[in-house]
Amino acid sequence: MKLLEERIRKDGKVFPGDILKVDSFLNHQVDIKLMDEIGKEFYRLFKDCDPTKILTIEASGIAIGQAASRYFGFIPVVYAKKGDAANLDSDLYSAKERSYTRGVDYMVNVSKQYLSPEDRVLILDDFLANGEAMAALINICEQAGAKVLGCGSVICKTYQPGEKRIKDMGYKVEVLARVKAMHDDGQIEFED
């Protein structure tokens, strides 16, 4: 998605530890017009799947899920919550996820009332690096008996194992911006 790549080149920042910071438009402050284009592109890529729900993870995935939902006919967006929360009931699907940017493990949870064996799920997230978040969301769908139709990521670091990991699990993976290298001088290279 050229529009997204241009925005990453313009406003993305490379930080030590192989971190690509895109918080000025994607996951802290959200550019709603760009997000709408992201939602439209995910619909184009997955429209034949006919999902009943979009599953993502808090917090960055929520805006992505909402933008895509519009194009899928406003289907529900379910997001896994990180850690314990007072407003979560005790009847949960849970899986462990290791945050690449924070370097810590989280339990991610979804209430059992929001996923069922009848659901056909599209998983969407902001980044795909090692595949930890997507694998955790797939695990939650498996616990629920829900069918995973595919996984979409706004940005993928293709030099890390996440995309291959999820594909090796047998899932369709679609990526909007494929980062093949990041350099200390701030340059970001994309795959063609």
Q: Return the CATH number at 162.
A: 3.40.50.2020
Q: How many domains does the chain have?
A: 1
pLDDT tens digit at each of 192 positions of the chain: 999 999 999 999 999 888 999 999 998 999 999 999 999 999 999 999 999 999 999 888 999 999 999 999 999 999 999 876 656 677 899 999 887 667 788 899 999 999 999 999 999 999 999 999 999 999 999 999 999 999 999 999 999 999 999 999 999 999 999 999 999 888 999 997
Domain range for 150: 2-79+113-190
- 91 belongs to a structural domain: no
- 167 belongs to a structural domain: yes
- 22 belongs to a structural domain: yes
Which residue, chain included where needed, has tokens 């795959």?
Answer: 191
- 66 belongs to a structural domain: yes
Q: Give the angle subtended at the CA of 188 by the CAs of 16 and 134, to the nearest 5°.
A: 75
Task: Provide the whole-model pTM.
Answer: 0.94
CA distance 176 to 190: 11
- 70 belongs to a structural domain: yes
Q: What are phi and psi of 130, to 5 degrees?
A: -95, -10
